[in-house]
Amino acid sequence: MEYRNLSQDKGVAGLTVLLSLVTVLFVIGLLVMVFSLAGGELRDATYTSTTVVVPAETLSEVTNTTAVSFASVDLRNVVCTVSNFTNQTGGELINAGNYTVDGCSVISIDAGAYNGTDWNVSYSYVYDNDNQATNVMNDTTTNISSVTDWFNIFIVIAAMVVLILLTVIIITAIRGSGLMGAKSSSDRGGSGFA
């Protein structure tokens, strides 16, 4: 394999620097992506599965037109298991045929006697809880992902380096071409006469 000396190529002022920087930025971006994906997977694998039993939670004005969610509905990967519903006013047990539950919400009820009233729900739920490992992984992946914020600065610095190299090459080429004129003898300190 034959290698050529890139320093002797004409018309490529700073091109090798620019190509090197683009390659470095690509590799950094690739590593950031790999570590962010791996960190996300590690974080998801380290959550603590937590079970909570709720003896009575009040659901206000349960109607047959609007779904009513339990307080735990927004927890991570939550799964709710309803034990029973009771009417808050009279304490009567509400028959399972009078409502439909989806996840951690009552999504429909019949238009019977309990429509528009407050209900108590007894249920348990299991969710993925944060722990020290997940907090560390969250911080790590967030900080690794923020590395790409510096890419704009790297690109501006590389452009400045390329422009400086181009300017130096142009000045050197002009001096070498003789367009600047020869120095007169008066410039050398002489009288100008032979």
Model confidence over 14-62: pLDDT tens digits? Answer: 667 777 777 888 888 888 888 888 887 887 788 889 999 999 999 988 8
- Answer whether residue 172 is part of any domain: no
Same domain as 116, residue 54 = yes
The CATH number linked to 78 is: 2.60.40.10
For residue 156, give the DSSP letter. H
Q: Any alpha helices (H) in 7-150, and if so which ranges?
A: 15-45, 132-145
Same domain as 58, residue 117 = yes
Structural domains counted in the chain: 2
- Answer whether residue 119 is part of any domain: yes
Model confidence over 111-140: pLDDT tens digits? Answer: 677 888 889 999 999 999 988 888 888 888
Tell me, what's the pLDDT at 52?
95
- Answer whether residue 174 is part of any domain: no
**Domain range enclosing 75:** 49-128
Same domain as 57, residue 39 = no
Report the distance separating Cα 71 and Cα 58, nearest Å: 9
Same domain as 82, residue 149 = no
* Structure tokens that stand for 187 in this block: 């410039």
Model confidence over 92-118: pLDDT tens digits? Answer: 888 888 888 998 998 878 767 788 888
- Answer whether residue 152 is part of any domain: yes
Tell me, what's the pLDDT at 11?
53
- Answer whether residue 105 is part of any domain: yes
Sheet (strand 117-129) strand order: 48-62, 117-129, 79-87, 93-94
Same domain as 120, residue 76 = yes
Instruction: Tell me the torsion sign for CA atoms 16, 17, 22, 27.
Output: positive
| CB neighbour burial string for 3-29, b if at least 16 within 10 angstroms, e if fewer | eeeeeeeeeebbeeebeebeeebeeee
Task: Report the predicted TM-score, pTM, of the whole model to 2 decimal places.
Answer: 0.56
